[in-house]
Amino acid sequence: MPSVAHEAPIELIRQHPGLAVELLQAMSDVDLPSDIAVSLGPTDLSEVVPVKFLADAVVVVADKATGEAALVIIIEPQGRDDPTKEFSWPVTSPSPAGISAASARSCW
């Protein structure tokens, strides 16, 4: 069963998806359109291969004018530093289910 330490940040993102964008901008140099819309996306990240991948939360950042996804943020708290995790999550990129591969990109 997930702990409160695991679930609390996810619930914050679910209630306030824009927080994921603020955190990402504070920690990286990601360039986004000036006028964006932020929403939760599908958490089922499975591919055609019969392996299922689920994220705790997915935030979609889209250009308000075009509706085109500019960025997809996958929220997956780890609880502890594990250098090997960085190489296990790229499986979700570039195309979580329901999000155009051309408009999705990953950031680490």
> 19 is in which domain, residue-wise?
4-90
Is residue 17 domain-resident? yes
Is residue 56 domain-resident? yes
99's tokens: 């999000």
Task: Give residue 98's pLDDT band: very low, low, confident or very high (50, 70, 90).
Answer: very low
Q: What is the mean pLDDT of the chain?
A: 76
The Cβ of residue 88 has, within 10 Å, a number of other Cβ atoms equal to: 11
Is residue 106 domain-resident? no
pLDDT above 90: residue 16: yes
Q: How many domains does the chain have?
A: 1
Is residue 79 domain-resident? yes
pLDDT at position 92: 47
Query: What count of residues does the chain have?
Result: 108
Is residue 34 domain-resident? yes
pLDDT tens digits, one per residue of 42-76: 888 776 666 667 788 888 899 898 888 888 888 87
0.85 exceeded by pTM: no
Q: What are phi and psi of 95, to 5 degrees?
A: -135, 75
pLDDT tens digits, one per residue of 19-38: 999 998 898 888 888 899 99
Is residue 67 domain-resident? yes
pLDDT at position 12: 93
Is residue 98 domain-resident? no
